[in-house]
Structure 1
Amino acid sequence: MGVSILIGSFIGGYGSRFMSEDGINIVYGTLALIATIMMFVPKKGLDDQALDEVKFNRWLAASLALIVGVGAGIVGAAGAFLLVPIMLVVLKIPTRMTIASSLAITLISSIGATVGKVTTGQVEYLPAAIMVIASLIAAPLGAMAGKKVNTKVLQTILALLILATTIKVWSDIF
């Protein structure tokens, strides 16, 4: 999934320079809406599976990662908001494995999107630096909290955050 999302995020990040701001927001709103719907799909028995027994279609995973990468690159995100629901609902990967894997995959995605956005002059460096510093402080705290919280609670929190984002993006569009 890593190589696919890297290629896709670079294409999306670079190609977004040809899109209007409204077009980018519509892509973001559409991706967020898809993610919201997927997060509310029941995921029964998903976390009962032993991690060493997890199996999924690698070609499907790579194809979906490429698509997520393009969309994530366009909107300037790493794509975890869409990648996590895909891994949970489509690929049927257990929650804790999804969380850990999505961190690594979106790290790779962010490299492609960043290169695409930087080469086209779309990055404001001061706000970006502030967000990087805040993320470096907050991410370990979130990782520690995530280990202690029930997976259903984690899924609900993520679903509500994605829903709030979806509402905000679409309200800005209209």
Structure 2
Amino acid sequence: MDILEILGYFGALLIGVVLGLIGGGGSILTVPVLVYLMAINPVTATAYSLFVVGASSLVGAIRNIPKKLIDFRTAIVFAIPAFIAVYLTRKFLVPAIPEEIFSVSGFVITKNIGIMLFFAIIMVIAAISMIKEKDNGRNTEVKKVSYNYPLIIIEGLVVGLLTGIVGAGGGFLIIPALVLLAKLPMKKAVATSLLIIAVKSLIGFIGDVQNMEIDWVFLMIFTGLSIAGIWLGVYLNNFINGKKLKKGFGWFVLLMGIYIIWKELF
């Protein structure tokens, strides 16, 4: 086992710690850890990421059920179009992307480079949303939940498509949608998003099982470390200011996204 592999397994633990500490964002690290530290092909890495993110989010969702923080009706309305979109994306769209997307004056954008560049752009958008996020106590009181069904379904399809391509959970898109479109209080939105992420990610992964060979031993070890990290993160949450950490993590993700763009292009 070389130093990069050891760092990769440490990265798996870190993914869980971040999820446990700030309730999201950790999944955005999964693909870079798998690609750059574990030397896994980007298409396979996005598939493995779906399983890691799905399993980790499921643990978080189960933890929230006794606290009555999950709005199951909202989760179902959002998750159905999301998991249909992510399954179809993994089963048909990703395999259909050509190995060479385009080339200009000898500069070639391959499928692997294209996926990593798209992923880096999503990282930058997620980072900016984490850095700019303000909590003025908005939407913390209990309100009557209302549903804008057409917009929730459209948002579910968009999030499912993005999740299918890059293998990240998309919590930074789901949580604002639940707050704005279903009028959920913030704590319920975060908890409900974990269930949505778990369902759509694991169903999307089924599309990959049908298309590629999975290294189950590696995947279970990596996922197990990530889940262990969640429990560690939840414990550390008692001593660390989550809001400040989220902004700091946002800056880290922004730098990572810029680094991936630079690495893939230059």
Q: TM-score range by the shorter chain?
A: 0.7 to 0.9
Judged with a 3 Å threshold, the aligned counterparts in structure 2 of structure 1 residues 95 and 157 are, in CA distance, closer, same or farther, namely: farther
2:96 aligned partner, one-letter code: F
Partner in structure 2 of residue 50 of structure 1: 141
Following superposition, the deviation at residue 54 of structure 1 comes to 5.8
* SS at structure 1 position matched to 2:132: coil
Partner in structure 2 of residue 8 of structure 1: 85
For residues 1-174 of structure 1, what are the structure 2 equivalents within 5 Å?
1-14=78-91, 15-19=93-97, 20-47=111-138, 49-53=140-144, 57-80=148-171, 82-84=173-175, 94-121=185-212, 123-146=214-237, 150=241, 152-153=243-244, 155-174=246-265
- Structure having the higher helix fraction is 1
2:154 aligned partner, one-letter code: S
Q: Is the 8 A contact 2:120 2:260 kept in 1?
A: yes
Mean alpha-carbon deviation: is it higher for 86-95 or for 11-20? Answer: 86-95
Q: Is the 8 A contact 2:131 2:251 kept in 1?
A: no
Name the CA distance, whole Å, in 1 between partners of 2:260 and 2:220. 23
Name the CA distance, whole Å, in 2 between partners of 1:41 and 1:92. 21
Judged with a 3 Å threshold, the aligned counterparts in structure 2 of structure 1 residues 87 and 122 are, in CA distance, closer, same or farther, namely: farther
1:77 aligned partner, one-letter code: A
Name the CA distance, whole Å, in 1 between partners of 2:201 and 2:254. 22
Give the paired residue count: 174
Question: What CA RMSD, in Å, does the superposition of the two structures yield over aligned residues?
Answer: 3.2
* SS at structure 2 position matched to 1:50: coil
Gaps of 5+ in 2: 1-77, 98-110
Q: Is the 8 A contact 1:29 1:169 kept in 2?
A: yes
Gaps of 5+ in 1: none
TM-score, with length taken from structure 2: 0.54
Instruction: State the Cα deviation string for residues 6-44 of structure 1 (Å, max 9, x = none).
Output: 112112222212221122112212222222232333435
TM-score, with length taken from structure 1: 0.76
Q: Is the 8 A contact 2:123 2:253 kept in 1?
A: yes
Judged with a 3 Å threshold, the aligned counterparts in structure 2 of structure 1 residues 148 and 73 are, in CA distance, closer, same or farther, namely: farther
